[in-house]
Structure 1
Amino acid sequence: MNEELREYLLQIRPLEAVSMEMARKRWSQVAKPLNSLGVLENDIVKMAGIMETSRVELDKRALVILCSDNGIVEEGVTQTGREVTALVAENMTKGESCVCIMADRAGVEVFPVDIGVARDLVSGVRHPLITRKTAYGTKNFHREPAMKREEAVQSIETGIRLVKELAEAGYHLIATGEMGIGNTTTSSAVASLLLKKAPEVLTGRGAGLNDEGLRRKLGVIKKAVDTYGPACRDTIDVLACVGGFDLAGLTGVFLGGAIYRIPVLVDGFISAAAALAADRIYPGCRNYMLASHVSAEPAGRLLLDQLELAPLIQAGMCLGEGTGAVSAIPLLDMAVSVYTKMSSFEEIKIEAYKPMGGGS
């Protein structure tokens, strides 16, 4: 780890306990059955600890989409070619992609970031492109490491700096997204090395692979795990050997949430693989994350369980781009409204609910 990244991580402080206790007390006073909003209540308490205030606000929220190409596509592990990454990323800048339509509905500002697309992009005006290119796509990790260690660190620091900029602009919540053909392959390889689980347990069909394509994808990941596993000294090595610039950048976004005290929403499988990488780089980083949904990809639940994060939604989603993260934001909006606006038991002059033990 270089000195700049180490200096960033030294800024992380624990969740603020007093604000969390005040948030729990407020929930206990709201005139409804105790704990009846489940994960939503817990997430508001966590946000109070992150923000260091019990006055939780979500008025200004951003979706950061890291876009990058992956050299592993050369091995036929995807249904489409890598040229699709650039086309979809450009579509995002015009506000015409799936997640942009959803974000408009949810009141979320979209920030597409070119961190490693294989060609230069033409930006639309709806969501202007942020260009932070580490390189023009990663190498093919079937033949050589995906990137240099220095490039992995650079990408992580890019993610951290993006969060810094959003924090300075007053954003209260960051949703994570990505776009990169081949990145379910990179994410499966990263997850396999970090979790020390067989690729078969973690690897799905991505964007619609047939049986032959899935066998090819599994073979590539298995070989990578065998080749690079013994040589990886730490999580940054894992990202460098088999990851992508988007994954490394998202890792930085999660670290940035902890550094600059902004809650960060985990999206699906790819985002969760980056979240786990961030937590391995700085144990406890998970405390600054919220889980939006359970991805339909095989590793979706496993990664959230490893991070000890409870998802808000289970809808069989696996689109990526941040669609799951954006979908969860209206639920958090509703929870904040109840938390801040609902009458207390005392105000409506009825006896408060009391905690009851389980069993008979």
Structure 2
Amino acid sequence: MDSAALFAPVREPSAEARGQFAHFAVAAPAGQNGLGQLSEPGAWLAACQEVHPPRPITRPRVLIFAGDHGVNAQGVDTRPEDTSRQLAEQITSGQAPLNSLAAGAGAGVRLVDVSLAHEAWGPERVAEGSGRIDIEDGLSREQLEKALEVGSRVADEEVDSGAELLIPGSLGMAAETVAAAVAGALTRTEPVVMVGAGYGISEAMWKQRVGVIRDAMFRVHSDISQPLEVMRKISSPDIVALAAFCAQAAVRRTPVLIDGPVPALAALLADRLAPGARAWFYAAQDSGNPVETVALRDLGLSPLLDLDFDFGPGSAALLALPLLQTAGQLAREAAGTQPEPN
């Protein structure tokens, strides 16, 4: 399977709109510092919208891709799905902290169940039958193709329904263990770096997790130039779907706010699948998780926030969103324009 055949070429955001916003950002009245650190994200938004001043973001969307990976955060096989199910149920019922943050930011929330074995998700159960995937087993070609199709389709559905900015999130048992193996392989980073200091776990668990990640990375050491093969051998349906989602969003010229280790990995994979996709991504924060740090560094993305904030998938991005909105609002006021009525 050729990734070039899966995604159309990615077009660069508007350099002209970026330049116009950058000029506005430094033209502050005497005695003022202008937009400061909001200059770059504001210019990015203008470039993605291909207009200066940027328009208000009236329909941001949070997409939570749920899955279960069969191992816990230490790389130990743990079969219960209850934690993932409970969190998913809270999100779908509107009871999670994420829902309150989204409402405050004016964002809608959608949960996409890619591999949880749960009958309650109805039409959102987009990859029914894919099942739980262990890091040792990888994916079949059919599962890989299905997950890619799911992610691309969800992106198209959201953009076609009017989404103006997308915030991807991940929910699943041990997603970060799988992500650490994939990110380590793609960036040629040592397993001990990808695991990190291992706060809160025993030395034995830390060594076991390093071993799981090391073995997974070894299986794909000759496949680094083939992201689809890496994903097939050591990834999972929800991570593949997230990567395809981010890649297709870039193809559709829709900005994506990245928040969290697994979405950061998905952005890294998306840029491999659809070269140039990184121009459509902005980082909300760097949590310090090695996966997120390594992926953002590889992508050349600087985070907007430094709060170490985590109230669920996409929560830091929802805090960053009003800052983007503020940058655009100030640019519109400076230009003497008002948003068009809905």
Shorter-normalised TM range:
0.7 to 0.9
Alignment map for 1:115-154 (pairs within 5 Å):
115-122=114-121, 130-133=124-127, 135-142=129-136, 144=137, 146-154=138-146
Which deviates more, 158-167 or 37-46? Answer: 37-46
Aligned to 2:101: 102
Q: Distance in 2 between matches of 1:139 and 1:189?
A: 14
2:239 matched to 1:240? no
Could you list the per-position Cα deviations for residues 5-64 of structure 1 after superposition, in whole angstroms to 9, with x for gaps in the alignment?
A: 645522421222222233233334454778743442212222222222224231210001
Q: Which amino acid aligns with 2:143?
A: E
Contact 2:10 2:275 in 1 (8 A): no
2:41 matched to 1:47? no
Q: Which amino acid aligns with 2:108?
A: E
Contact 1:192 1:198 in 2 (8 A): yes
Q: Select the residue among 180, 188, 197 that pairs with 2:189.
A: 197
Aligned pair in 2 of structure 1 residues 285, 172: CA closer, same or farther (>3 Å)? same
2:220 matched to 1:221? no
How big is the shift at 1:187?
A: 0.5
Aligned pair in 2 of structure 1 residues 211, 322: CA closer, same or farther (>3 Å)? farther
Alignment map for 1:70-85 (pairs within 5 Å):
70-73=69-72, 77=76, 81-85=80-84
Q: Select the residue among 301, 304, 319 that pairs with 2:296.
A: 304
Aligned pair in 2 of structure 1 residues 276, 319: CA closer, same or farther (>3 Å)? farther
How big is the shift at 1:110?
A: 0.4
TM-score by length of 2: 0.87
- The count of corresponding residues between Structure 1 and Structure 2 is 335
Aligned to 1:19: 17
Aligned to 2:340: none
How big is the shift at 1:295?
A: 1.4
Aligned pair in 2 of structure 1 residues 207, 99: CA closer, same or farther (>3 Å)? farther
How big is the shift at 1:209?
A: 4.2
How big is the shift at 1:255?
A: 0.8
Aligned to 1:277: 269
Could you list the per-position Cα deviations for residues 328-353 of structure 1 after superposition, in whole angstroms to 9, with x for gaps in the alignment?
A: 11221222222212478xxxxxxxxx
TM-score by length of 1: 0.83
Structure 2, gaps ≥5 residues long: 337-342
Q: Distance in 2 between matches of 1:74 and 1:331?
A: 33
Aligned pair in 2 of structure 1 residues 210, 94: CA closer, same or farther (>3 Å)? farther
Q: Select the residue among 29, 35, 38 that pairs with 1:37.
A: 35
Q: Distance in 1 between matches of 2:263 and 2:124?
A: 19
2:140 matched to 1:113? no
How big is the shift at 1:78?
A: 7.5
- Aligned to 2:66, the other structure's residue is in SS state strand
Q: Distance in 2 between matches of 1:317 and 1:194?
A: 27
Q: Distance in 2 between matches of 1:46 and 1:115?
A: 31
Could you list the per-position Cα deviations for residues 78-101 of structure 1 after superposition, in whole angstroms to 9, with x for gaps in the alignment?
A: 788333212211211011123222
Alignment map for 1:63-74 (pairs within 5 Å):
63-73=62-72
Which deviates more, 181-190 or 19-28? Answer: 19-28
- Aligned to 2:169, the other structure's residue is in SS state strand
Contact 1:162 1:253 in 2 (8 A): yes
Which deviates more, 75-84 or 18-27? Answer: 75-84
Structure 1, gaps ≥5 residues long: 124-128, 345-360
Aligned to 1:352: none
Aligned to 1:166: 158
Q: Which amino acid aligns with 1:59?
A: T
Could you list the per-position Cα deviations for residues 246-281 of structure 1 after superposition, in whole angstroms to 9, with x for gaps in the alignment?
A: 211111121122111110011111111111111122
Aligned pair in 2 of structure 1 residues 207, 74: CA closer, same or farther (>3 Å)? closer
Q: Distance in 2 between matches of 1:205 and 1:120?
A: 38
Aligned to 1:356: none
Q: Distance in 2 between matches of 1:34 and 1:181?
A: 48
Aligned pair in 2 of structure 1 residues 194, 10: CA closer, same or farther (>3 Å)? same
Supply the RMSD in Å over aligned alpha carbons.
2.8
Q: Which amino acid aligns with 1:148?
A: S
Which deviates more, 25-34 or 257-266? Answer: 25-34
Contact 2:45 2:255 in 1 (8 A): yes
2:250 matched to 1:251? no
Aligned pair in 2 of structure 1 residues 199, 288: CA closer, same or farther (>3 Å)? same
Q: Distance in 1 between matches of 2:311 and 2:182?
A: 19
Contact 2:28 2:34 in 1 (8 A): no
Q: Distance in 1 between matches of 2:117 and 2:134?
A: 13
Contact 1:90 1:121 in 2 (8 A): no
Aligned pair in 2 of structure 1 residues 223, 32: CA closer, same or farther (>3 Å)? farther
